């Protein structure tokens, strides 16, 4: 994908016009497959994403807001009904959080596979992931989103710090303007984009080795599944708000949180972009053994803040 310069992106952000996201990608991405709805044709298709590097040196991608079709009427019952959702623009980590990123904020790494600092962390409890978000926010002088003195660590979505993506944000990023089960087309190409059960050899792999999606985000379909902020409810889509849905309220005890994206142990079907999982948070386990649970961070960013961030070195 040819990335706009930061300058161009800011022009877009300031209302100079929306450009249809190109299928004319380069680097590791390939052209838009015929099976996928061209992003330009999708209603409310977003302007071009922008790559940036945070103060602590982490690569992220700014995704301008837009409207997309969330869920599927042809998947599992909990994926239905497919429904229109508008999402406000946000930045998302280009890669899953790795060992070297996790250790940088002085958290004990609970992962099973620690043989490469570039591998994603796993066996991460939901609250561990949120703690990482807060620590990274503090490290970069941002306002932490999570109030650690509240049950479930209530999220302040107005804060400019890091947090877990909402389920809607995650799917918006993964779909990258398409409506097909896989952003890149059909399951036969999954090997090019994901480490999953058929090719992962029952272990995680260093992030960024497979192709990125057309918005430049890696490993959304495999390697480790990713925590989202939302409480999981199989019937939520029937009542979900149309703008920036945040998931149902927490029932308190024994809550399951949404986990999205395939992992090293997922089937191709589980790697579909609309596939949903509800996962126990692991917060009451001294040792959490679910070795496919990872995450990546998002944050809201103003045009002014985005302008100050550096583009990645080429």
Partner 1 sequence: MTTKIFSCLAATVLLSVTTRAADGGDFKERLKPLPFKIAYESYVDNNWEIFVMNPDGSNPVNLTGTSKIHEHYPQVSPDGSKMCFVADEGEGTETIRSLWVMDIDGKNRKKLVEYAREPFWSPDGKVIGYLGQEYPKFRVIDYYTKGMNFYELATGKITPHPNSDKLRHLYNPGFSRNGKWIVSTVHAGMGYDHAILAIEAHGDKIINLKIPGCRPCFSPDGKQVAWGASDNEIAAAPIDTESDEPAVGPWRLHVKDAKNKIYHVDWSPDSRFLSISRGPDGEGDIKKVGTFEAACEIMGVYAPGWNLIAVPADKDGTIDLNTASDADYSKLTTNGASNKESAWFRSPPQN
Share of the chain residues as helix, strand and coil, in percent rounded to the nearest 5: 20, 15, 60
- State CA 46 to chain mean position distance: 16
Count CB atoms within 10 A of the CB of residue 193. Answer: 25
Contact yes or no for 64/12 (Cβ under 8 A): yes
User: Cα separation of 24 and 60, whole Å?
Assistant: 21
Establish if 112 lies at the interface with partner 1 (CB under 8 A).
yes
Establish if 158 lies at the interface with partner 1 (CB under 8 A).
no
Nearest to 18, CA basis, from 48, 42, 49: 48
Rounded least distance, CB 285 to partner 1, Å: 6
Rounded least distance, CB 116 to partner 1, Å: 13
Stretch that binds partner 1, among 35-43, 68-76, 145-153, 226-234 (CB under 8 A): 145-153
User: Cα separation of 12 and 2, whole Å?
Assistant: 15
Contacts of partner 1 in 16-75 (CB under 8 A): none
Residue in 30, 109, 198, 305 binding partner 1, rule: CB under 8 A:
109
Rounded least distance, CB 232 to partner 1, Å: 18
Contact yes or no for 5/311 (Cβ under 8 A): yes
Residue in 15, 17, 77, 149 binding partner 1, rule: CB under 8 A:
149
Residue in 100, 148, 156, 269 binding partner 1, rule: CB under 8 A:
148
3-state secondary structure of 90: strand
Stretch that binds partner 1, among 20-28, 143-151, 165-173, 229-237 (CB under 8 A): 143-151
Q: Can you read off the two tokens belonging to residue 152? A: 């479930």
Rounded least distance, CB 21 to partner 1, Å: 40
Nearest to 47, CA basis, from 245, 215, 285: 215
Contact yes or no for 216/62 (Cβ under 8 A): no
User: Cα separation of 194 and 248, whole Å?
Assistant: 30
Residue in 18, 127, 189, 256 binding partner 1, rule: CB under 8 A:
127
Please state the φ and ψ torsions of residue 310, each to the nearest 5 degrees.
-85, 150
Establish if 265 lies at the interface with partner 1 (CB under 8 A).
no
Rounded least distance, CB 151 to partner 1, Å: 7
Residue closer to partner 1 by CB (options 149, 314) is 149
Establish if 256 lies at the interface with partner 1 (CB under 8 A).
no
Establish if 98 lies at the interface with partner 1 (CB under 8 A).
no
Contact yes or no for 167/258 (Cβ under 8 A): yes
3-state secondary structure of 69: strand
Establish if 283 lies at the interface with partner 1 (CB under 8 A).
yes
Residue closer to partner 1 by CB (options 20, 107) is 107
Establish if 123 lies at the interface with partner 1 (CB under 8 A).
yes
User: Strand 293-294 to strand 225-231: parallel, antiparallel, or no bridges (unpaired)?
Assistant: parallel
Establish if 314 lies at the interface with partner 1 (CB under 8 A).
no
Residue in 21, 64, 89, 110 binding partner 1, rule: CB under 8 A:
110
Establish if 114 lies at the interface with partner 1 (CB under 8 A).
yes
In the complex, which residues of this chain contact partner 1 (CB under 8 A)? Answer: 106-112, 114, 123, 127, 148-151, 283-287, 289
């Amino acid at each position: 994908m040819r990335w706009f310069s930061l300058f161009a992106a800011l022009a877009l952000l300031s209302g100079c016009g929306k450009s249809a996201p190109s299928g004319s990608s380069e680097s590791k991405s390939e052209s838009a497959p015929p099976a996928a709805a061209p992003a330009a044709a999708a209603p409310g298709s977003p302007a071009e994403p922008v790559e940036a590097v945070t103060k602590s040196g982490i690569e992220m991608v700014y995704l301008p807001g837009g409207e997309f079709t969330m869920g599927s009427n042809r998947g599992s019952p909990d994926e239905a009904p497919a429904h229109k959702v508008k999402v406000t623009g946000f930045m998302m980590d280009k890669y899953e959080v790795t060992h070297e990123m996790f250790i940088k904020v002085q958290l004990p790494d609970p992962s099973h596979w620690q043989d490469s600092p570039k591998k994603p962390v796993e066996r991460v409890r939901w609250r561990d992931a949120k703690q990482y978000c807060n620590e990274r926010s503090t490290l970069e002088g941002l306002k932490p989103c999570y109030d650690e003195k509240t049950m479930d660590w209530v999220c302040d979505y107005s804060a400019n710090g890091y947090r877990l993506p909402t389920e809607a944000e995650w799917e918006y990023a993964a779909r990258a303007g398409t409506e097909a089960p896989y952003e890149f087309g059909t399951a036969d190409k999954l090997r090019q984009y994901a480490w999953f059960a058929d090719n992962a050899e029952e272990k995680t792999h260093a992030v960024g080795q497979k192709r990125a999606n057309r918005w430049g985000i890696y490993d959304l379909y495999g390697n480790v599944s990713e925590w989202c902020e939302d409480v999981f409810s199989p019937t939520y889509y029937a009542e979900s708000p149309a703008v920036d849905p945040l998931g149902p309220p927490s029932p308190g005890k024994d809550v399951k949180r949404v986990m999205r994206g395939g992992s090293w142990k997922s089937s191709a079907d589980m790697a579909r972009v609309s596939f949903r999982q509800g996962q126990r948070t692991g917060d009451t386990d001294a040792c959490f053994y679910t070795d496919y649970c990872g995450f990546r961070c998002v944050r809201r960013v103003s045009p002014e803040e985005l302008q100050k961030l550096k583009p990645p070195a080429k």
